[in-house]
A = this chain, B = another copy of it.
Amino acid sequence: MTVLRVVVIGGDAVGMTAASHIKRRLRDAVDVTVIQEQQWTSYSACGIPYWIAGEVNGPTRLVARSPERHRENGIDVRIGTRATAVDVDRQTVQARVLQTGEKLTFPYDHLVLGTGAKPVFPHVPGLHLPGVLKVHTLDDGLAATAALARKPRCAVVLGAGFLGLEVAEAAITRGMDTIVLEMAAEPMQTLDLDMGARLRLAMIDRGAKLQVNEPVEALIAGPDGRVAAVRSEQGEYPAEIVFMGLGLSPRSDLAVAAGLPVGEAGGILTDSRQRVLGQENIWAGGDCTEVHDRVSGRRCYMPQGTHANKHGRVIGLNISGQEATFPGIVGTAVVRFQDVEVARVGLLESEGPALGLDLACATIDAKTRAGYFPGATPITVKMIGDRATGRLLGCQIIGGPGSGKRIDIAATAIWNRMAVADVIDMDLAYSPPLSPPWDPVQTAARRLAAIL
């Protein structure tokens, strides 16, 4: 019996999910080797800010399945090993064992690329000073933990996007005097500016220090050689710790070097089965790839653990001989900053012109629960529709506990190409402790439908 050789580069969501599916289905008919640079597998990078905050015991609690567990399942996991080149013609992967320098060659019948993302850095001096921290891998988390042991009193977070907000919350929870610097006019560029402004006010209400329109110019060292301050055009902020909260870009260097296609954002391009374009037996998924946006009809880069998990499953099924496709995304995302939940899906109002769409939008203020119910908090819903078709194309939510996951109603509606007017009449769940009789998403739909 010929044994299928599957080589996987990257041991997190995409790679280990695919590897597990393949091994579980094909058993002795397959050899699965995973090349993983770090010592961890199947971990939650999204949990790192909460580890830093002290809310979660890292790194172990963030590891869903260790290399040992995967090995018990018959997967050959090579940790501490860096893939250095892919030879598409010879169907081999070159790798190096980091500790020994040993060079290895792995021939493959199928190759899976789950190389993930890398943090975005600003182009400023001082980035490599001690005390400048990333929150991307569990090793970053360990480095952050070590830095926190020095009991820093002040921190600067670069960037007020999803990651920046999570890290800022962590730094504040740790008791650090924390300033968030954002170069754009408002936090969270995945929101429209009017909603970004609301978020900014909500953050300031909660005592957060957020400076917008303020790109960083340099990180400045103190006498001990560690980072001591962050300089922007407007001023200089003391910072015993600086967190990178600027988001992610695809880690696709290996793919590019192998001649594989990447898109405008630098992500590897695949078909809907997650097969790399132009390749028979190379698959890619997760944060190193671009995805199909079902709303705009375009490719985009939207690194999310949810997509990575789904890609891993789709790749695993396909290599195992089933037919599976990834149907694309609608751009759903949610983040919590203290008691404020922020969520978005679909198009922004501001994206209309570039896409040639005439968009209408409506913004409503409601409550998360029945208005009279204790703990009812404000929720703002902005809804965006297409004047030509009446379709729901986007939704943004900011509000108290219970607000964020309401975006799933809009996400499911957009997924199904619903008209705004049809959202009004949907049968959604109501109970005074959990919702007003008209869910705020429906109240927004009523307002928007009247405009459309």
Contact = CB atoms under 8 A, between A and B. Distances in A.
A369 to B, nearest CB: 10
Contacts of A412: 408-409, 412-413, 416, 426, 428
A334 interface: yes
Given A331-B427, A426-B412, A426-B415, A372 B432 contact: no
A416 B330 CA distance: 16
Contact of A306 (B343, B404, B428): B428
Nearest to A431: B334
Contacts of A422: 327
A331 B56 CA distance: 39
Given A44-B372, A309-B437, A370-B46, A408 B431 contact: no
A332 B413 CA distance: 16
Nearest to A416: B416
Contact of A405 (B64, B343, B416, B429): B429
Nearest to A441: B408
Given A412-B416, A416-B416, A336 B373 contact: no
B427 A329 contact: yes
Contact of A334 (B44, B50, B430): B430
A104 to B, nearest CB: 31
Interface in A325-348: 326-336, 341, 343, 345
A13 B436 CA distance: 13
B46 A431 contact: yes
Interface in A46-63: 46-47, 50, 55-57, 61-62
Contacts of A432: 44, 46-47, 50
Interface string A281-322: 000000000000000000000001111011000000000000
A334 B415 contact: no
Nearest to A302: B427
Contacts of A343: 429
B427 A415 contact: yes
User: Could you say which interface size class chain A belongs to?
Assistant: 35 or more
A47 B427 contact: no
Interface string A379-406: 0000000000000000000000010111
A427 B306 contact: yes
B428 A44 contact: no
A425 interface: yes
Interface in A65-110: none
A374 interface: yes
A363 to B, nearest CB: 19
A434 interface: yes
Given A416-B416, A434-B334, A411 B425 contact: no
Interface in A234-259: none
Interface string A423-447: 0111111111111011100000000
A407 interface: yes
Contacts of A218: none
A208 interface: no
A418 interface: yes
A259 to B, nearest CB: 30
A327 B425 contact: yes
A425 B310 contact: yes
Nearest to A305: B437
A212 to B, nearest CB: 23
Contact of A431 (B326, B335, B402, B424): B335
Q: 5 shortest A-B CB distances, which residue pairs?
A: A334-B429, A416-B416, A412-B412, A61-B372, A332-B427
Interface of A: 13, 44, 46-47, 50, 55-57, 61-62, 64, 304-307, 309-310, 326-336, 341, 343, 345, 370-374, 402, 404-409, 411-413, 415-416, 418, 422, 424-435, 437-439
7 contacts: A47-B370, A305-B430, A334-B430, A334-B435, A407-B429, A413-B416, A416-B416
